[in-house]
Structure formats: structure tokens, C-alpha cells
Structure 1
């Protein structure tokens, strides 16, 4: 999740656990601990793909954070012994461990069990979702005005947790909705990713991939009985095979579970993570090799500039979310005229 959310979550937990004893300083401690796992972004692992796939790695591992919580609890207890060691451990443990657990509900992927296993990505909540964050911020605001405000903090944590549960249920409902439409299109058992569109859990995006095609469906809870629209994008298996043995390709395939689009741009071959962003505005595209035909030369991966998002996109997204617009064309990120399709 975004940094503001992690700060709010950490501060809320710390305030609820220790606010009565520590006062407002509990929020500061929780906020700092809540951002601690994300400090791995300052590490340069040597290439763009390495930086991308090792973020949320060791610093988000339960095997690393659990002993770190023990150590920090002891240090903080020595600093402020008015709070018992057990209460400090409850604070550090809850704040540090809920950070990666929350991140695992997003699409990016969180290596909860580093150095073992694959990233965990439940894909039920967008990385920024005001409906999750605002109750936490409200609780923290009440605390700052009239500490310890334990009831306000508890209510904020409960509302956010209930909302997180809703996201999981909503994803299951959408998955069951799109499955028949994909089967009717001949995609009975594709690799399927269902995730919310930006900033909400009302409008959802389903991405199904095979070796040769990528099928996208945008559907929402305000669509009524409107039929689903399938938008198809070509995938080039030959291009994927030309770089499949490169270590950085293997790393990307592992991290994204195969949700990649390979393209040739001039004399370069790129791989794009199609899970994140939207077609035409995917933020993570990497240059993997240069050359023509069989004369490909692997390069130290670099990331291409992030595509700009048009200001009017928020209005377009809102129109589609509310059901005012019956269709959103992902290829152009526009709403088609009445009686037209993508």
C-alpha cells in the first residue's frame, strides 16, 4: 500500500496498544515502524529488474520482521520502561507484521516468506484506496485532538479491516461473473487475474492470458445486467521465446506469474508487467535485450519512462465506475461513443 496508509496503520495500532501510557508519542513510534519495511527502496540491486523484483523482499519477510520486532521491543523497553516489555512487543510485532500482510492484498506482490516461495499477491485492493485509509486517518486525528481516543482508533481499525474483508469477497464475486464470458470465448482455463481498478472496489478489471492473446474485461457492481465486453490484445510467443532463457526474463516471469507483454521497440526487446496500471499506461516496462533476429545481446535491464496519464482519465474512470458509461476501451483509455464498441 502507499506510504500514507502504512503510516496511518502503524500509528493506529501503536496508539491503540500504547497510547494511554505514551500519549501522542505512540503515534510517532507507530508511524516510523510502519514505514520501516519500505526503506528497501533506497537499495540499488544493480539493475531495473532486480530493483523491481526485490522490493518487498527481505524487508517484508515474516522471517525477518518477527525477530526484528523482538529486538526493537527490547530496545524501546530500555528507552521507555514505563511500558512493559510485553506491551512493547505487542506494538512492534503488530505494526511490523501488518505492513507486509496488508501489502500482500495488493497486486504488486509481497515476498512474505523470503527467501522461500513465490510472492504473495491477493490482488483484492488497489495500492491507494481512500475507503481503507480514511478510517485510520480519522482515528489518528481524534487521538491527536483528545488522546488517548482508544475507541476512535479501534473503530478505525475495525472499519478498515472489515473493508479489507469486503475486497476479498468482491473479488470472488467478480471472478464468478467473468468466468462464463471467458469460457464462451473459448478461454475455459486461462491464467486469470482479477483486481480492482484504481482507487475503488466497485469497478474491477479481469485479465486472462494464453500464449497468443490477452483478454481484458472491465466490469463493476453498478453495471446492472449489462453484458460483459471482451477486449483482446495480441501476444507474441516467438518474441517471448527469444528471451526466455535470460536470467532477468526468468526473474520477471517468476515475479509476475507470467503476466508479461513482450514487445520489439526499434532494436530493443522489452517486457511489460501487464498486472499494474492499464493497457497504454503500464508503469513497469523493462529493456531486456538488443539486436535483431538471432543476434540478440542481453543488456543490464533498464526501465523505460513511465507513461503519462491524461488529466481527464479520472473523469473517465468515474463515468465508468458509476455505470454512466457502459464501456471503457482499455486500448485507448477512452469511452466509446453511443452504439460503438472498442
Structure 2
């Protein structure tokens, strides 16, 4: 999740655990502790691909955060003997471990058990969702105005947790909705990713991939009985095979579970785009893997292409699609299809 949300969650937990003893300063302590796992963004691992796939790695591992909680609890206890070591340990452990657990509900991927296994991504909540964050902020504001405001802090945590639970339930409902249409289109055995569209859990995006093709479906809870619209995107398995043995390619395939779109530019650059994040036409992570000239492949430096500019003109369309005002939104163009036409 975004930094503001993580800080609000950490501050809320700190206020609940030690607010009576430490007062308002405990919110700052909790917010700072909650930002620690994300400081790994300051580490340069050598290439853009490495930086992308190592983020949410060791610093988000429960195997690392558990002993770190003990260490920090001891230091904080020496600094402020009250409220005692057990409560300091409860505070540090809850804050540090809820950070990666919350991140796991997003799509990016969190290496919760680093160095074992692959990244985990439940993908039931967008990385920024005001309905999750606002209850936490409201509880913190109530605490600042009249500490310790335990009821407000508790209510904020309960509401945000309930919303997180709703996001998971909503994801299962949408999954069941799209599976029959995907099976009918020949994607019954395809790898499937179902995730919310930006900033909400009302409108959802389902992405299914095979070696030859990718299909996208946008559907929401306000669509009524409107039929599903399937939007097809060709894949290039031959191009993927060309760079499949490159270390950067293998790393991206591992990190994204294969949700990559390979392209070759007019000047021979072969790129891979993570199609899980963003939406078609506005995917933020595209990497240069190699250069092909006269059939010869030269490995690239794993550099990242510039992030596409945000199309602010599409925001009203996204809102209209979320509310069901418009029944179809083509992802490739971020526009509604003309009358009588399909995406």
C-alpha cells in the first residue's frame, strides 16, 4: 500500500497498544516504524529489473521482521521504560508485520517468506484505496484531538480490516462471474488475475493469459445484467522465447508469474511490460531486455522505459464506468466503443 496508508496503520496500532501511557507522540513512533520496511527502495541493486523485483524482498520478510521487532522493542524500552518491554514488543511486532501482510493484498507482490518461495499477491485491493485509509486517519485525528481516543482508534482499525475482508469477498464474486465467459472463449485453463480498478472495489479487471493471447474483462457491481465484454490482446511467444534464457527475463517471469507483454521496437529493442500493474496503454513498468539486429541478440542492461504520462482525461470515463453510467470501457484506448462496434 502507499506510504500514507502504512503510516496511518502503524500510528493506529501504536495508539491502541500504548496510547494511554505515551500520549500523542506514540502516533509518530508508530508511523515511523511502519515506514521502515519500505526503506529498501533506497537500495540500488544494479539494474532497474533488480530494483523492481527486489523491492518488498528481505525488508518485508517475516523471517527478518520478527527478530527486528525484538531488537527495536529492546531499544525503545531502554529509551522509554514505560509501558514495559512486553507492550513495546507487541507494538513493534504488530506494526512491522502488518506492513507486509497488508502489502500482500495488493497486486505488486510481497516476498513474505524471503528467501523462500515466490512473491505473494492476493490482488484484492488497489495500492491506493481511500475507503481503507480514511477510517485509520479519522481515528488518528481523534487521538490527536483528545487522546487516547481508544474507541475511535479501535473503530478505525475494525472498519479498515472489515473493508479489506470485503475486498477479498468481492474478488471471489467477480472471479465466479468471469470464469464462465472465459471458459466459453477458450480460456478455462488460462492463468487468471482478478484485481480492482484504481481507487475502489466496485469496478474490477480480470486478466487471463495463454501463450498466444491475453484477454481483459472489466466488470463491476453496478453493471446489473449487462453482458461481459472481452477485449483481446495478441501475445508473441516466439519473441518471448528469443529472450527466455536471459537472467533479467527469468527474474521478471518469476516475479510476475508470467503476466508479461513482449514487444520489439522498430530499432530492434525487445521489451517486457508487467501487464498486472496499471492498465493497457498506461502500464508503468516496461524494461529493455535485449536488442536484436540481423538475427543476433545482444542482452540489454535491464533499463526501465519512462513511465507513461497519466491520461487525466480518462479519469471521468473511469468514474462513469465504475458507477455503471457507461456499460463498456475499452482498455486499449481508454474510450467507449462507437455504436455498433466492440473493443
TM-score range, shorter chain: over 0.9
Name the counterpart of 2:168.
168
In the TM superposition, what are the counterparts of 1:1-342 in structure 2 within 5 Å?
1-265=1-265, 266-292=267-293, 294-342=295-343
Structure 1 residues 182-229: Cα deviation after superposition (integer angstroms, max 9, x where no partner) = 011111110000000000000000000000100000000000010000
Distance 1:127 1:137 in 2: 16
SS in 2 for 1:300: coil
3-state secondary structure, aligned to 1:270: strand
Displacement, 1:341?
A: 2.1
- SS of the equivalent of 2:300 reads strand
Whole-angstrom distance in 2 between the partners of 1:339 and 1:221? 24
Deviation at 1:293, TM superposition (A): 5.2
Cα deviation 1:7-43 (Å, max 9, x = unaligned): 0000000000001000011100000001000000000
TM-score normalised by L of structure 1: 0.99
Name the CA distance, whole Å, in 2 between partners of 1:293 and 1:163.
Answer: 54
Secondary structure at 1:271's aligned position in 2? Answer: strand
Where do 5+ consecutive residues of structure 2 fail to align?
none
TM-score (structure 2 length as normaliser): 0.99
CA apart distance, 1:314 = 1.4
Mark the CA change 1:112 to 1:293 in structure 2 (over 3 Å): closer, same or farther. Answer: farther
User: Tell me, what secondary structure is at the counterpart of 1:308?
Assistant: coil
User: Within 1, Cα distance between the matches of 2:82 and 2:315?
Assistant: 49
* CA–CA separation in structure 2 for the residues paired with 1:337 and 1:26: 56
1:337 Cα deviation after fit: 3.5
Measure how far apart 1:274 and its partner are: 0.3
Q: Distance in 1 between matches of 2:78 and 2:336?
A: 60
Q: What is the CA-CA distance between 1:336 and the residue it aligns to? A: 2.2
CA apart distance, 1:83: 1.1
Q: Deviations over 1:69-90 (max 9, x none)?
A: 0000000000000111000000
Alignment size in residue pairs: 342
Structure 2 CA distance, aligned partners of 1:293 and 1:322?
51
Task: Structure 1: give runs of 5+ residues left out of the alignment.
Answer: none
Separation (CA, whole Å) in 2 of partners of 1:312 and 1:15: 41
Query: Following the alignment from structure 2 to structure 1, what is the Cα–Cα distance between the partners of residues 231 and 271?
Result: 22
- Measured in 1, the distance between the counterparts of 2:246 and 2:40 equals 25
Q: From the superposition, tell whether residues 194 and 156 of structure 1 become closer, same or farther in structure 2 (CA, over 3 Å).
A: same
